[in-house]
Amino acid sequence: MLRQLATLAFLAASGLAFTSSFVPGWAADPCADHIPQPKPQNASRDIVGQDLDTIMDRGFMTFAVYEENPPYSWEEAGQAKGVDVEIARLIAGDFGVEARIKFVAAGENLEADLRNNIWKGPLISGSVSNVMMRVPYNSAFTCRVEQVVFTGQYADERIAIAYREAVYPDGGPTVPYFRYDSVAVENDSISDFYLSSFAGGQMSRNIRRLPTAAEAMNALAAGEVMAVMGPLAQLEHGLSDGLAVHLPPLPGFAVSRWTLGVGVHFAYRPLSYSVDDAVFAALSDGRIEAIYASYGLTHGAPER
């Protein structure tokens, strides 16, 4: 749930809301009204080993990934799994070093996650990582967190709807169906907030809120609800016989799709450039798409 709240906070902080408003004319400078922050001096307690030369010399690179976040990153029988884990290994392999995966808990928002895992470190114990995976990218947000370089865009995130084919034999439901039909969502997720506010809350009585998207998909498979709304990859990961997923129009939801990349400490730009080069090469030759396919997921090409 905290991961979903962090993403929601990111979208709100970036000026992205559940609206389809459009201002004609030239694109505005997203950083025009931003006042630069003081640059932190020696902020991290564990800054040793962050530069590219040291990484190459010691033979490993550290990656922060969210814990218990399938299909992106999770641990099973002591083994790290998930598309973000595999992409981290791909990046490290391009450097010729080992990928060391660090599972981290989601903080109250994305800025806290970046502070704890990239440029400052947690308050009590632990250390920063060389790279943080699954960082949403938005040009306005990058102005606010100057201590981080946002790079390596490797995929996009899309909101989708999974459904029971027997219930909807003519195709998947659209949002207005949920005025009458039941739909499950992860509690306090973007999908939860969207559906709860849609059409003045007309579908609130039909929303079933569950702790995770995986539990929502289990409820769908058991016939307890008629549909599930959430990130496409999470819905695809939970598909079973008789279930399908589609990407319908989402009226009034301007941010149903956003770009994902990585975060690197601002002081180590050569590292960030090299990480981006590795990601670009893997996108170009299809290796990242193949990682998604190996988990039964659809890879959305990122905006770069």
Backbone angles phi, psi at 54, to 5 degrees: -65, -40
pLDDT, greater one: 36 or 250: 250
For residue 229, how far is the Cα from the chain centroid? 16
Domain ranges of the chain: 2-21+42-156+258-294, 158-246
Rounded Cα–Cα distance for residues 228 and 182 (Å): 9
pLDDT at 138: 87
Q: Choose the most confident range, by mean pLDDT, from 51-60, 101-110, 221-230.
A: 221-230
State the pLDDT confidence band at 17, using cuts at 50, 70 and 90: very low
Q: By C-alpha distance, which of 139, 95, 157 is closest to 292? A: 157
Q: Please, which pLDDT band fits residue 2 given cuts at 50, 70 and 90?
A: low
User: pLDDT averaged over the chain?
Assistant: 88
Do 2-21+42-156+258-294 and 158-246 share a fold?
Answer: yes
The string of pLDDT tens digits covering residues 192-215 is 999 999 988 889 999 999 999 999
Domain range 2-21+42-156+258-294, CATH architecture: 3-Layer(aba) Sandwich (3.40)
**Structure-block tokens of residue 298:** 């659809």
In this structure, is the dihedral angle defined by the CA atoms of residues 250, 251, 253 and 258, taken in order, positive or negative? positive
pLDDT for the residue 130: 96
Return the closest-CA partner of residue 135 out of 116, 120, 122: 116
245-261: pLDDT as tens digits? 999 999 988 788 999 99
Short-list 276, 241, 296, CA closest to 82: 296
> CATH number for the 158-246 domain, one of 3.40.190.10, 3.40.640.10, 2.60.120.1440, 3.30.300.30?
3.40.190.10
Is the torsion defined by CA of 164, 166, 171, 176 positive or negative?
negative
Exposed (0-12), middle (13-18) or buried (19+): which is 238, by Cβ within 10 Å?
Answer: buried
Q: What is the mean pLDDT of residues 209-236?
A: 97
Q: Higher confidence at residue 34 or residue 50?
A: 50
